[in-house]
Amino acid sequence: MEETGIVNIYVLTDKYPLISQIESSLSDLSISVTHGDPDIPQIDMIVAARADLFIGNCVSSFSAFIKRERDHVTEKPSRFFGYPQEV
């Protein structure tokens, strides 16, 4: 967050969003954390595709669709949990 200047986080998940844990971990950074409706995944995909930065899960087909759109349509940066940032 400090590196990118991001002030809003939108959590995409169909199970456990862990909002309170994320907010607690980032409490000193004044970050807003939001979770969408897991029953409407199309909204999550639109938000993720247009976000300033997307951090996905490399084994998720949902993340793969978002990454492809970001690479070829919006040309915005993406990262994946557990993988170092590309240099």
List Cβ neighbours of 77 (8 Å cut-off, separation of 6 or more): 52, 53, 54, 70
Q: Which CATH architecture has domain 8-80?
A: 3-Layer(aba) Sandwich (3.40)
pLDDT tier at 34, thresholds 50, 70, 90: very high
**Long-range CB contacts (< 8 A, 24+ apart) of 12-20?**
12/36, 12/44, 12/47, 12/48, 12/62, 13/38, 14/38, 14/41
pTM of the model: 0.78
The pLDDT mean for the chain works out to 87
Is residue 87 scored above 50 in pLDDT? Answer: no
pLDDT tier at 26, thresholds 50, 70, 90: confident
- What's the pLDDT tens digit per position in 51-66? 988 988 888 898 999 9
